[in-house]
């Protein structure tokens, strides 16, 4: 631990890594899309990042490789029922000495000669229940891989969506904080001028300054949140994301919970959520795996076989060499009786795995139902909050207009107008935050129910 890994071993490993990743093959081609982050515009839109995520997201790429692996495993399972042809060649030196015999012909001393064997063997499964179930198992596994690929696409798209909205929230809050700091700066300047002529107080001016400093600190914290969101977007999309375009909430999204219900959302999720569907099919896969194990443990196997063997002996105990050709063919029936493979019974383990798969399916379905109910309730509460915040923002705007009219008529002062504008900025910030928060909740509801995130105006 104090010295770290061996330097030479690390150097060799790095050289081998470079060689493996630099070959002109499918592995080497991955570097074009995944080795470096791709540059894009200064403020990419959400749809731009969706497209980049589909092309360069590593989770989606891994899911695609799992699908390729499932294809290969399915083909290998099919090969298990095709003819098996093999050839072998053996060269050996035989040294033979008769130690004891009651046959005078055999007692002719020793022999030393080479032997060459050429053998070709063909085996054709006729009935092998285990391999039949394995073909069905791998077909099901490929279906699972397909659904998991869809789930990976949906997850990457949702993560990109949610992170983008989070970045937009941070940008909106930073913009509001800077506007309020500017307004407080006007208050400080105005109070400073009044203090200079004896009509203001240094205490009030210091209070304004303290409030602006507090807002500046809040802005710094929000800037770090924006930077973290942009970094997450860069990872999700495999591109350099330095900023995001302004985001508005489409009118068709707001109050969308009124067009559905928790029960409808749960029904849609059970039909369309790919993660739940993949888990459900995994139960079927585990059941087929159990049947395949039972067949391997107990089912008889019938094979047809044929072999051709050419043996050349350069000598013998009797002096002369020989060449023999044997052709053998027939059928072989193998019946497992007890612990035939010397590894116990796999079926018992597969039964445990089947129960585990069923438990996982029930757990994910239960969690999905709870999350749908929670998200639906959040959308409903946010709709209520948006209505109240919209009314508050409208009244705050009216107050600014009234105060400005009073200022023009000489009935008010600029400090009062600035105070009204600060209240208006705060109300608008709250409203915009809640609208974007509703957009995130809507996106999660779409994700949970397996619906699309595409909507006009987004």
pLDDT in tens, 310-359: 999 988 777 778 899 999 999 999 999 998 888 888 899 999 999 999 99
More confident residue, 180 or 15: 180
SS3 263: helix
Instruction: Tell me 1's DSSP state.
Output: -
Q: Is the pLDDT of residue 138 over 90?
A: yes
454 backbone dihedrals φ, ψ, rounded to 5°: -80, 130
Q: By mean pLDDT, which of 79-88, 187-196, 263-272, 443-452 is the weakest?
A: 187-196
| pLDDT at site 199 | 63
pLDDT band at 22 (very low <50, low <70, confident <90, very high): confident
| pLDDT at site 165 | 95
Q: Is the pLDDT of residue 23 over 90?
A: no
| Domain spans of the chain, in order of start | 47-93+114-449
C-alpha angle 54/59/63, rounded to 5°? 90
Average pLDDT of the residues in 9-38: 74
Q: How far apart are CA 8 and CA 241, in angstroms?
A: 38
Number of residues that make up the chain: 458
| pLDDT at site 101 | 77
SS3 354: helix
Task: Measure Cα distances from 414 to 180, 351, 405, 422 in Å.
Answer: 15, 79, 11, 12
Q: Are 196 and 127 in contact (CB under 8 A)?
A: no
| pLDDT at site 158 | 95
More confident residue, 201 or 356: 356
Q: Is the pLDDT of residue 457 over 70?
A: no
Average pLDDT of the residues in 241-260: 89
Q: Are 396 and 371 in contact (CB under 8 A)?
A: no
Q: How far apart are CA 308 and CA 325, in angstroms?
A: 7
Q: Are 154 and 450 in contact (CB under 8 A)?
A: yes
Q: Which helix (H) or strand (E) holds 28?
A: helix 26-29
Q: Are 94 and 115 in contact (CB under 8 A)?
A: yes
What pLDDT digit, counting tens, does each position of 27-47 carry? 776 776 666 666 666 678 888
CATH class of the domain whose range is 47-93+114-449: mainly alpha
Q: Are 447 and 372 in contact (CB under 8 A)?
A: no
- Sequence-ordered alpha helix ranges (H) in 30-128: 31-34, 46-56, 58-79
Average pLDDT of the residues in 115-127: 95
Q: Are 77 and 137 in contact (CB under 8 A)?
A: yes
What pLDDT digit, counting tens, does each position of 351-406 carry? 999 999 999 999 999 999 999 999 999 999 999 999 999 999 999 999 999 988 98
pTM of the predicted structure, to 2 decimals: 0.83
Q: How far apart are CA 190 and CA 187, in angstroms?
A: 5
């Amino acid at each position: 631990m104090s010295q770290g890994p061996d330097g030479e071993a690390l150097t060799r490993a790095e050289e081998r890594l470079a060689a493996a990743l630099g070959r002109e093959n499918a592995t080497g081609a991955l570097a074009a899309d995944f080795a470096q982050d791709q540059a894009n515009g200064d403020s990419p839109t959400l749809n731009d990042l969706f497209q980049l995520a589909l092309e360069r997201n590593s989770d989606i790429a891994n899911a695609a490789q799992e699908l390729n692996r499932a294809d290969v495993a399915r083909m290998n399972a099919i090969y298990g029922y095709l003819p098996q042809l093999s050839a072998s060649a053996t060269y050996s030196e035989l040294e033979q000495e008769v130690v004891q015999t009651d046959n005078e012909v055999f007692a002719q001393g020793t022999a030393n000669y080479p032997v060459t064997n050429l053998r070709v063997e063909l085996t054709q499964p006729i009935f092998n229940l285990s391999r039949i179930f394995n073909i069905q198992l791998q077909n099901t596994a490929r279906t699972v891989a397909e659904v998991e690929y869809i789930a990976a696409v949906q997850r990457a798209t949702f993560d990109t969506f949610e992170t983008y909205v989070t970045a937009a929230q941070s940008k909106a809050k930073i913009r509001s904080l800077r506007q309020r700091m500017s307004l407080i700066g006007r208050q400080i300047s105005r109070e400073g001028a009044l203090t200079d002529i004896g009509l203001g107080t240094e205490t009030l001016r210091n209070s304004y300054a303290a409030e602006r400093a507090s807002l500046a600190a809040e802005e710094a914290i929000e800037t770090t949140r924006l930077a973290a969101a942009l970094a997450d977007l860069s990872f999700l999309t495999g591109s350099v994301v330095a900023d995001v375009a302004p985001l508005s909430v489409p009118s068709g999204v707001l109050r969308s919970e009124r067009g559905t219900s928790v029960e409808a959302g749960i029904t849609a999720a059970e039909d369309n959520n790919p993660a739940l569907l993949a888990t459900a099919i995994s139960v079927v896969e585990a059941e087929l795996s159990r049947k395949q194990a039972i067949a391997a443990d107990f089912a008889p196997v019938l094979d047809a076989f044929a072999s051709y063997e050419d043996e050349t002996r350069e000598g013998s105990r009797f002096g002369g060499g020989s060449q023999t050709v044997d052709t053998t063919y027939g059928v072989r029936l193998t019946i497992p009786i007890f612990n035939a493979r010397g590894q116990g019974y796999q079926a018992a383990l597969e039964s445990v795995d089947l129960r585990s798969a069923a438990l996982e399916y029930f757990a994910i379905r239960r969690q999905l139902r709870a999350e749908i109910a929670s998200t639906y309730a959040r959308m409903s509460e946010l709709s209520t909050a948006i209505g109240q915040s919209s009314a508050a923002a409208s009244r705050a705007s009216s107050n600014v207009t009234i105060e400005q009219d009073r200022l023009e008529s000489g009935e008010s002062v600029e400090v009062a107008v600035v105070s009204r504008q600060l209240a208006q900025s705060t109300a608008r910030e709250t409203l915009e935050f809640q609208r974007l928060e509703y957009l995130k909740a809507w996106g999660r509801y779409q994700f949970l129910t397996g619906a699309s995130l595409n909507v006009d105006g987004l």
